[in-house]
Structure 1
Amino acid sequence: MGDTLRAMAGLNYPKDKLEVLLLDDGSTDDTLERAAEVAREFPFIKVIEVKGGGKGKSYVLNYGLKLAKGEVIAVYDADNRPEPDALIRLVSMLSDETPAVIGKVRTINWNRNVLTRFICMEYLYFQLAGQAGKSMFYKTAVLPGTNFVIKRELLEELGGWDEGVIAEDLELSFRILARGKRIAYNPLAVTWEQEPESWRVWFRQRARWAAGNVYTVAEHIKRFREIPGWGLRIDLLLTLMVYYLLAVAVIVADVAFISLLIAFGNITWFTGLILSFVYLAFLSEVFAGLYDGRIKNPGCWLLTPFMYYTYSQVWIPISLAGLWEGRKAKKKWYKTPRTAV
């Protein structure tokens, strides 16, 4: 936590306009003590204990919104270390048409083990293909959970974050787009984030995200026509269903592959060509992400051919778990465990 707050203090942003609110939602370690030490050095940092917490991230964000004084609200998770120019790059792109701007998220602990390398690779190609691609074709993007700014005026008009959801970032994105507004993407505004280092923690995190997608689709599909433009509507629907589209694609590819193994003698050149194209397309996407992220570590590049057969396969049970959790009337917030940063 000390390093996170020092990264905030090191932002190249006018200090007379900078207000950092550390919202502590029932931490059980020495977060408050370490944060207080840093706050004594920088008067624009305030440490706040959230009253009546334990209700999820949306509740905490709304709690902080009531206390914040600025006209622009920036959101960073507690495990983030934004680069010095991150905030000013985000704010510089705000306008009436684009009242929200997002940046790029990089993995700070990418070299800890195989899982963190996979997560790093996933983030890189998702942001290249998803956020950058969406921004290029539709002039908009989707809010992540961290490293973004939004105009306070719009946020208050929308009623803040929805406290009944799990995926608060995706749900808020939908309401912003329904207003006819845009969300800009600035890949030069970078924050470094700590990711789960165990498969169990990662699985629970992603299952929660998938459940959030289920809720968002169920709540907003009836207002689908409010989104301006059919191209943007279809793209947003694909974004909402990303976990399930990926799971279905993996299942179809697996069934086709097994069928080919069983009937190897009957494989046609066309079928082999299609399966090869799908696999090569996956590899190309991941390699493009690694290249864009300037990852020179050979371990990541060598892991890429195995990513589909390991990491991608786990999306099937993740999607099923998300469907199971998403059907519940009451949403349970699962806080992802972190080590100190």
Structure 2
Amino acid sequence: MSAAVLLSRGQLAVLAATGVLAAVVLTVAGVYGLLRTLMTLMIAAYVSFTVFKLIVWFAGARRAIPDRPLPSLDDPALPTYTVLVPLYQEAAVLPGLITAITRIRYPTERMQVLLLLETGDDETIETVRRTALPSYVTAVIVPDAGPRTKPKACNYAMTVATGEFTVIFDAEDRPEPDHLLKAVAAMWAERRSDPRVICVQGILSFWNPRSGIPSVFYWAEYVAHFHWMLVGLCRLGLIPPLCGSSNHFRTEALRHVAEEYGTLTFGSGDRAVTVPSVWDSYNVTEDADLAARLARLDYRVAMCPARTYEEAPHRLSVALRQRTRWLQGYLVTGLVQSRRPLRSIRSMGAMRYLVFIMMMLWTPISALLNPIIWALSATYVLARISGWPVVATFIDDMFPTPVHYVGLIAMVAGNVALGIQSIVTTLYATSDRDAGLAKYLSLTFLWWAFTSLPAYRAAWRLLTARSTWEKTPHGHDQSQEQSVIRPTAPTVEPVAETSRPRDESGLVHSG
């Protein structure tokens, strides 16, 4: 149950059986019979996913994320918090990160902030050495053993984590000052109604939605995803794929996951490093995979209004790499979580499991198929206009009549509905500052076309670099960041230092 293996023996057997079945259909029904079967299955998947997204969207539209009274800073019931901050080649954004952490309103004697640095990342390590860190912030050097991924770093950090709650922030994250208090209030309230809730997902927003065309579409996607889709998935009792940042966990639940999935040892001899398998160290979207791991243990996730500002990709080249990693990770997660379907159905429930697998696999697969469908449609129209009856008839014969009309409706009405949904979502859920960006969403279809490029790239990397983390650069417009995120007075208090060995610079040694 790890991305360390691409396909299990069972999956290889299913793949072989599918190939045999396709050969039988080809032999019995001919080329057209095989093509019609494939097109029928494909259109059924398109229609099902479109209907599913609209159902979830309407479910989310009927329920806002509630704001709850914040606990007092001197409330003795406030949990201790471990904040994990994985860093790799992030020297440029480190000062803003430390500033954001010191602005968090929470008793610092109850905070343990771990900066996770990768061995060999000399620039970031040196920047940390030169930075005056608050006493509750500790830098931990992650050993250079095994895959150099964010989940492996977080797994390593769990060996020294002491908080009752655990949250992950990325290097470019700027959590609002009351972020932790809002998460605690949400966790307490959700667990009163359902003790199975052990994670609350905060809201991610962008502080730079106007820095480029890609950032506009990222902004629109995040509004729809966090204010509507995730809310709808939680409301329907389904499994929301967690995001890589601002997930607040009860640490005991993470340790339960580690007990279920065991440990991993990287290296050998004196250099061997053993870490708990809370997250899949080989998965580049470990957050989505963890959502399934928690669901297998009958845990639930809820939403909370704690907001974190992030930096959106401002260039297509940056968006290409980041979207490649997301789609690659979704493919891997879908493959991993489909390895033991009967056991997963028993633990998650059939509907929850099947919907999760559909989200993980069909999201990237549809991006792979979209150009093919668009090309077929354009060729068919061109053949009709230009009088190429052979070409038009060939495409016609690929689709049984009912499938042809259903596919046409799905392509036209479905895309129009999803396009309108994205515009309405952003107009409803966004602030006045960003409302003017909705006018760019009339070009959403161009963005959908672009996302097919990282889908093909993700499929290639799935075969060639499955567990290699493509870094997203940050820190391109820090002046804009400061104009959006208002400063507040920091609250820094001394706390007991960690007992792990340090060098003269204050960094925790690895291994």
Q: TM range, normalised to the smaller chain?
A: 0.7 to 0.9
- The two structures have a TM-score, normalised by structure 2, of 0.60
Aligned residues: 336
Partners in 1 of 2:366 and 2:407 — Cα distance?
21
Structure 1 residues 17 and 223, CA, compared in 2 at 3 Å: closer, same or farther? same
1:195 aligns with: 312
Tell me which of 3, 9, 17 is aligned to 2:102: 9
Where does 1:1-341 land on structure 2 (aligned, <5 Å)?
1-25=94-118, 26-27=120-121, 29=123, 32-33=126-127, 37-39=131-133, 42-52=134-144, 55-94=148-187, 95=191, 96-138=195-237, 140-159=239-258, 160-186=278-304, 188-225=305-342, 226-227=344-345, 228-241=348-361, 242-249=363-370, 251-252=372-373, 255-256=376-377, 259-260=380-381, 263=384, 276-291=412-427, 292-294=429-431, 296-297=433-434, 299-308=436-445, 310-328=446-464, 331-339=467-475
- The two structures have a TM-score, normalised by structure 1, of 0.87
Deviation at 1:174, TM superposition (A): 0.9
Structure 1 residues 285 and 17, CA, compared in 2 at 3 Å: closer, same or farther? same
Answer with 165-174 or 23-32: which moved more.
Answer: 23-32
Structure 1 residues 265 and 277, CA, compared in 2 at 3 Å: closer, same or farther? farther
Structure 1 residues 38 and 239, CA, compared in 2 at 3 Å: closer, same or farther? farther
Deviation at 1:125, TM superposition (A): 1.5
Please list the CA deviations of residues 271-296 of structure 1 after superposition, one character each: whole Å capped at 9, or x if unmatched.
98765533431222211331212254
Partners in 2 of 1:133 and 1:250 — Cα distance?
29
Partners in 2 of 1:139 and 1:154 — Cα distance?
19
Q: Describe the SS at the equivalent of 1:327.
A: helix
Deviation at 1:203, TM superposition (A): 0.8
Q: Describe the SS at the equivalent of 2:420.
A: helix
Structure 1 residues 141 and 78, CA, compared in 2 at 3 Å: closer, same or farther? same
Deviation at 1:238, TM superposition (A): 2.2
What is the root-mean-square deviation of aligned Cα atoms in Å? 2.9
8 Å CA contact 1:142–1:183 kept in 2: the answer is no
Deviation at 1:28, TM superposition (A): 5.1
Unaligned runs of 5+ in 2: 1-93, 259-277, 388-404, 479-511
Structure 1 residues 149 and 158, CA, compared in 2 at 3 Å: closer, same or farther? same
Deviation at 1:108, TM superposition (A): 1.5
Deviation at 1:253, TM superposition (A): 5.2
Structure 1 residues 125 and 246, CA, compared in 2 at 3 Å: closer, same or farther? farther
Answer with 139-148 or 103-112: which moved more.
Answer: 139-148
Partners in 1 of 2:160 and 2:354 — Cα distance?
37
Deviation at 1:182, TM superposition (A): 0.6
8 Å CA contact 2:325–2:470 kept in 1: the answer is yes
Structure 1 residues 293 and 56, CA, compared in 2 at 3 Å: closer, same or farther? same
Partners in 1 of 2:425 and 2:375 — Cα distance?
24
Deviation at 1:250, TM superposition (A): 6.2
Compare relative contact order (CA 8 Å, sep 6+) and give the higher one, 1 or 2. 2
Please list the CA deviations of residues 125-170 of structure 1 after superposition, one character each: whole Å capped at 9, or x if unmatched.
2223421110121165221000111122221222221112221111
8 Å CA contact 1:140–1:184 kept in 2: the answer is no
Partners in 1 of 2:382 and 2:106 — Cα distance?
59
Partners in 2 of 1:154 and 1:231 — Cα distance?
23
Partners in 2 of 1:43 and 1:337 — Cα distance?
28
Partners in 2 of 1:335 and 1:78 — Cα distance?
12
Q: Describe the SS at the equivalent of 1:209.
A: helix
Partners in 1 of 2:359 and 2:335 — Cα distance?
14
Please list the CA deviations of residues 76-127 of structure 1 after superposition, one character each: whole Å capped at 9, or x if unmatched.
0010001122222223333440111111111122111111111111221222
8 Å CA contact 2:239–2:292 kept in 1: the answer is no
8 Å CA contact 2:239–2:356 kept in 1: the answer is no
Please list the CA deviations of residues 193-250 of structure 1 after superposition, one character each: whole Å capped at 9, or x if unmatched.
1122221122112112222122222222022332422221222112212222344356
Partners in 2 of 1:276 and 1:261 — Cα distance?
18
Unaligned runs of 5+ in 1: none
Aligned AA (2:231)? A
Q: Describe the SS at the equivalent of 2:131.
A: helix
